[in-house]
Structure 1
Amino acid sequence: MSLKKYFSAYTRLGKDARLLLISSTISGVSWGLYGSIWQLFLKQAGYGGTVIGYYSFLQGITTTVLIFPFGMLADRISRKKQTVVGSLIGSLSTLIILMSTSLYMITVSALLSGISGAIVAPAWNALFAETIEDAGMEAGYGLSAFLGNIAMAFGSLLGWVPELIVRYSSLGYFGAYRCSLLFPLSMGFVSLVPIILVKERFRPVSRPIFKFKAGTIAAKFSFVNAIVGFGAGLSIPLLPYFFSVKFGVESGPIGTLYAISSVIGAPAFLASAPLAQKMGIIKGILIPSGISIPLLILIPFSPSFYVAAGLYIPRTILMNMSHPLISALLMRLSPEDERASITSITHLARSLPNSFSQQIGGYVMENIGLDIPLFLTSGVYFIYIVAFYMLFR
């Protein structure tokens, strides 16, 4: 399948699919900046890896507890309305942390962010799957990931904005990060406009709450998601903090790294489906993921930030290029009236161990050894690859 065919598939997507892609692209720009600076914002507020891990843990555990009921709710009410409400709650979370960085307000912000994730994730995924079903799941999710990566790259480059504010104003890094977070806050509201314009086709049906036609599929995906979620949480969300402490860099270089990784990695999402078509979807998922593990192991041995960045970029591309295939496979195997529920189950299976492992990883980085969580992640990723192969071969 050629790149030209992928872009022709995009032209076949309907108006509603394009509106959702516009919304997710706007959100991608916001998250690109937010992801580059929020940990550094807390670091400048005087907190270390333990509190950063605590925020991630609380956010993740809240999503985990609530995502299943909200997933079932999305299969029984309007998925569009649920997405809008959840997004508004996410914006409120950002607003709160801008108002105060007291531990109490950090806790409230984390809780609201977790609630937002639980509401939005299953509803948006099911809504998007509905809009791309005719054009093709693999192409739809591949294009979504492609555009999302480009948007994240642009947002990550905005990580230089705080650096410029510090250089050309009287503000320090704390004030510069706070001002910069106003951008993702405002873009959160802008991204709602395309969603509101979507015409939802799905009509919910009444059925028993805990009866699933795709229960076996949900169980298999949940098992492997739990493994990879735990492994990722030990270090991957904490990498901005890791780079800052180990190499003494701030948001500019880190944001640039994330931007370069996103730009270079974007075409890989388009290549994932033809790769799977050539070698089979299971190999298309597992081979790139397996190659990424040695690169992650080498990052702690890097003598400089630039060497670490040179390892981080291909590692991230290889590990992430399977995501559209996994999403497409899950949605294709799930009945339309269970997609939000199945999404919530598999997301829960990933986010619960991920929440605990982020807390563990943050504590280990700060108190035991900065490099250790990356080695632990590598080991768990290997177990994930073996488990995925055994279940889906």
Structure 2
Amino acid sequence: MPTAVPPWRPDDASAHGHGAWVQISPAAQRIILARTARSIGQGALVAAFTLYLHALQWNAPQIGAVLSGGLLIGAALTLWIGPLSDRTGRRRFLLGYELVMVACAAVAFVTATPWLLVPAALLGSFGRGANGAAGPFGPLEQSWLAHGTPPALRAQIFSLNSTLGMLGMALGAVLGAAPHWLIAAMPVDWAYRSLFLLPLIGSAVGFFLLLQAQDAPTAVKPEALALTQATPGMLDVESDHTRHLRENALLWRLGLVNALNGLGIGMVAPLMAYWYLVRFGHGPASIGPAMATSFVFAAFGAQIASRLAQRFGVVRAVVGMRAVGLVMLVLTPLSPVFWIAVGFYSLRATANQGTMGVRQALTVSLTGSDRRGLAATVNNVSIQIPRAIGPLIAGVLLHLGWLVTPFLVAATFQAAYLVLYQRFFRGIEPGNSP
């Protein structure tokens, strides 16, 4: 009679070998592969969704409103689901997300009717560009991945997860140029709508990958943990109440710095493809490869960040790289020609998006394992709600012809973010957390 497979534990890693990939759980491997599959469709929509809406005669404020609405809905779902997942598990929610994405992409593929397209775009967060993350359920993905990764490897594995997502986004962005050639064989709206097959297929693949993944254990009640693990030599261990107070202070700080970061991101990133169109008059044939270039650079940056974090620590790596990215952000709108702007923005992606993995590794290390869902939720929501404001404001500014202002506003917020990030989190390392 077959026996059940025991749950994977971080202590099991040493038995599997020395490579980082073989030291993580099978579920963690499936999470990373699902993100990679999902990222291709996201990359295509980052490059082409705003151009599609422009082709449908939508103006910049309308486009910005749809992007903002999707981010707000995602943040609301995260706020509800994230802490709940610590008690009920992550797998069921991520499987549900994949099915919703399949449905939203299918609707967008078959119709351009606004009363159907807008709800699909809001639920599916089309054009958001989450580097393959599971939208509002990204925090669940992070906490599940953290469970299946030994603490000492978190910065490295989260950077790998980010790298593969960005490479998938790059491939998708290249495919996002397809409407330029498809227009010769079909109506314009169908040329763009064909791209929705990519997120549909990607989420279907993600569903079947996660269907076989073993869920992470739900949180153990503190009193039960104390009864089963207490020993006479543990009198010096901090109480759960004291630990929660310390963790809460860190999470409040995380929320503050992320709000500044989110405001900066929202002013530029969601409408970047549209900005290229308005500023330089380019279409999907050049904008798709331009966005792909930035994602490839970001993937390269993730590996740089991983190595810098191992040598100098996460906080110093993040602050140093993003300071360079801040300069690139300011130079981008001042560029006289399209490909110079693409070069500056791609270098900015290397420094900014490249640090995403190590920042996530630090985030899930701010709390104990019983509150990782909460930590990842705070991280996501505190970025996404301020980020949701950005596209609406930036859309109005672009509509008025103020093409440089969004970048300068974004740079101001991100400069403040760097100062506070260094002050709040220096001395904290992912490898020091259980």
Normalised to the residue count of structure 1, the TM-score between the two structures is: 0.91
- Number of equivalences: 383
Q: Deviations over 1:70-122 (max 9, x none)?
A: 11211111211111112222232333333443443344224423699665222
Q: Deviations over 1:2-27 (max 9, x none)?
A: xxxxx921233332222111111101
**Residues in 2 aligned to 1:350 and 1:278: alpha-carbon distance in whole angstroms:** 27
Aligned to 1:143: 160
- Tell me whether 223-232 or 14-23 shows the greater mean CA deviation: 14-23
**Residues in 1 aligned to 2:144 and 2:304: alpha-carbon distance in whole angstroms:** 24
Contact 1:61–1:114 (8 Å) recurs in 2: no
Contact 1:12–1:135 (8 Å) recurs in 2: no
Contact 1:158–1:255 (8 Å) recurs in 2: yes
**Residues in 1 aligned to 2:163 and 2:175: alpha-carbon distance in whole angstroms:** 19
Q: Give the residue type in structure 2 aligned to 1:302.
A: S
Aligned to 2:331: 298
Contact 2:108–2:196 (8 Å) recurs in 1: no
Aligned to 1:220: 253
Against the structure 1 CA distance between its residues 346 and 227, is the aligned structure 2 distance closer, same or farther, given a 3 Å change threshold? same
**Residues in 2 aligned to 1:94 and 1:66: alpha-carbon distance in whole angstroms:** 19
Against the structure 1 CA distance between its residues 88 and 24, is the aligned structure 2 distance closer, same or farther, given a 3 Å change threshold? same
Whether 2:387 is the aligned partner of 1:372: answer no
- Taking every aligned residue pair, what percent have the same amino acid on both sides? 22
Aligned to 1:186: 201
Q: Give the residue type in structure 1 aligned to 2:298.
A: G
* Greater percentage in helix: 1
**Residues in 2 aligned to 1:305 and 1:145: alpha-carbon distance in whole angstroms:** 27
Residues 147-166 of structure 1 aligned to structure 2 (within 5 Å): 147-166=164-183
Unpaired stretches in structure 1, ≥5 consecutive residues: 1-6
Cα deviation, residue 135, structure 1: 6.7
Residues 176-325 of structure 1 aligned to structure 2 (within 5 Å): 176-205=191-220, 213=244, 214-325=247-358
Unpaired stretches in structure 2, ≥5 consecutive residues: 1-17, 127-132, 224-240, 427-434
**Residues in 1 aligned to 2:151 and 2:420: alpha-carbon distance in whole angstroms:** 32
Q: Give the residue type in structure 1 aligned to 2:421.
A: F
Q: Give the residue type in structure 2 aligned to 1:232.
A: I
Please provide the CA RMSD for this pair: 2.3
Contact 2:110–2:193 (8 Å) recurs in 1: no
Whether 2:362 is the aligned partner of 1:329: answer yes
Aligned to 1:77: 88
Contact 1:87–1:120 (8 Å) recurs in 2: no
Cα deviation, residue 128, structure 1: 1.3
Aligned to 1:4: none
**Residues in 2 aligned to 1:23 and 1:303: alpha-carbon distance in whole angstroms:** 40
**Residues in 1 aligned to 2:295 and 2:121: alpha-carbon distance in whole angstroms:** 26
Q: Deviations over 1:349-368 (max 9, x none)?
A: 11111111221111111125
1:235 counterpart SS class = helix
Whether 2:60 is the aligned partner of 1:43: answer no
Aligned to 2:147: 130
- Tell me whether 155-164 or 109-118 shows the greater mean CA deviation: 109-118
**Residues in 1 aligned to 2:151 and 2:404: alpha-carbon distance in whole angstroms:** 46
Aligned to 1:339: 372
Cα deviation, residue 232, structure 1: 1.0
Q: Give the residue type in structure 1 aligned to 2:341.
A: A
Q: Give the residue type in structure 2 aligned to 1:156.
A: A
Aligned to 1:23: 34
**Residues in 2 aligned to 1:189 and 1:64: alpha-carbon distance in whole angstroms:** 23
**Residues in 2 aligned to 1:238 and 1:288: alpha-carbon distance in whole angstroms:** 23
Whether 2:165 is the aligned partner of 1:174: answer no
Whether 2:77 is the aligned partner of 1:66: answer yes
**Residues in 2 aligned to 1:40 and 1:145: alpha-carbon distance in whole angstroms:** 26
**Residues in 1 aligned to 2:215 and 2:158: alpha-carbon distance in whole angstroms:** 18
Q: Give the residue type in structure 1 aligned to 2:419.
A: V
Q: Give the residue type in structure 2 aligned to 1:288.
A: M
In the alignment, which of 396, 402, 415 is matched to residue 382 of structure 1?
415
Against the structure 1 CA distance between its residues 14 and 207, is the aligned structure 2 distance closer, same or farther, given a 3 Å change threshold? closer
**Residues in 1 aligned to 2:391 and 2:182: alpha-carbon distance in whole angstroms:** 31
